[in-house]
């Protein structure tokens, strides 16, 4: 973890953000956990997986 993020966390702990910001952060966290759960338990669709394009070799 970047030390700057630790400083931000200490600032949040000392001066908590407003109620609206707490709700936004909580909603984003819940959304991320839902997406992680879907990917972990159901799997990622093959259609959304990027494929590597081979580089052309110039001779």
* pLDDT tens profile 2-54: 889 899 889 989 998 899 999 999 999 999 999 999 888 988 878 878 888 77
DSSP 8-state secondary structure symbol assigned to residue 15: S
Q: Indicate the pTM of the whole model.
A: 0.60
Q: Which of 21, 34, 31 is nearest to 8 (CA)?
A: 21
DSSP 8-state secondary structure symbol assigned to residue 45: -
Distance of alpha carbon 57 from alpha carbon 59, whole angstroms: 6
Distance of alpha carbon 55 from alpha carbon 18, whole angstroms: 51
């Amino acid at each position: 973890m970047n030390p700057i993020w630790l400083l931000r966390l200490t600032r949040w702990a000392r001066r908590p953000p407003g109620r609206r910001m707490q709700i936004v952060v909580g909603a984003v966290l819940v959304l991320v956990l839902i997406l992680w759960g879907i990917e972990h338990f159901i799997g990622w669709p093959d259609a959304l997986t990027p494929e590597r394009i081979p580089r052309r070799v110039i001779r």
